[in-house]
Amino acid sequence: MPGCLLTPPPDDPCDRIAADLATAGWSVCADFLAPGQVTALAAELDGRRAAGHFRPAGIGTGMALQLRPDIRNDQVHWLGESPETAAQRPYFDALEQLRLAINRHLFLGLFRFEGHMALYPPGSFYRKHLDQFRGATQRKVSAILYLNPDWTPGDGGELRLYLDPAGEGAYQDIAPRGGTLACFLSDRFHHEVLPTRRERRSLTGWYRVRE
């Protein structure tokens, strides 16, 4: 049938990310959102910080949630289930396209996304960890969108992704440059945020399966 595509065009960024996840288990995509969309999200984050919406981030979940500034000392503001501002709409739309692409490629049955804005003041970090909490396996894919213009190597704050399942040895460092999306299987990749020298802003979240 003319004009009927049975397979998605290979240059669709969501399909490329999903194909990477299916083969390597991780992916990095520059310019996942347009520069103006990234700037609008960064401006929203700055406004929420000024309005006092950020709280120190904890580790664990529910009753086991603890503040451990020796392990992580970023601050977060949790997002809702759907966009709450005009700036969030393109982000939620792109994440929904990506969810569908991942489900097509990996048959994971991803059901919903939960996420937060994150702010790492100069000097802050998040030590090596896995994104699945003990006994809670609903988080399947981690996705982090960076909001920092002009990141240079001396700024630190890289996401260090350990490629070996043991979380030792070979790693890939990913600079938190504005518009870049880093994605990986939540139960497979140990990772850490190296100490940042500049304020580091991001949107971090997880695709979950139905509980």
The whole-angstrom separation of Cα 165 and Cα 188 is: 6
The whole-angstrom separation of Cα 27 and Cα 81 is: 24
Among 77, 131, 177, 183, binds ligand OGA (CB under 6 A): 131
Tell me if 27 sits within 8 A of 16, measured CB to CB: yes
Among 15, 44, 74, 131, binds Mn ion (CB under 5 A): 131
| Three-class SS state of 154 | helix
Least gap, CB of 39 to ligand OGA (angstroms): 19
Tell me if 108 sits within 8 A of 55, measured CB to CB: no
The whole-angstrom separation of Cα 89 and Cα 82 is: 8
Told to check if 74 binds Mn ion by CB under 5 A, we report no
Residue among 36 and 60 whose Cβ is closer to Mn ion:
60
Residue among 13 and 205 whose Cβ is closer to ligand OGA:
205
Least gap, CB of 120 to ligand OGA (angstroms): 7
What residues line the site for ligand OGA (CB under 6 A)? 118, 126, 131, 144, 159, 191, 193, 202, 204
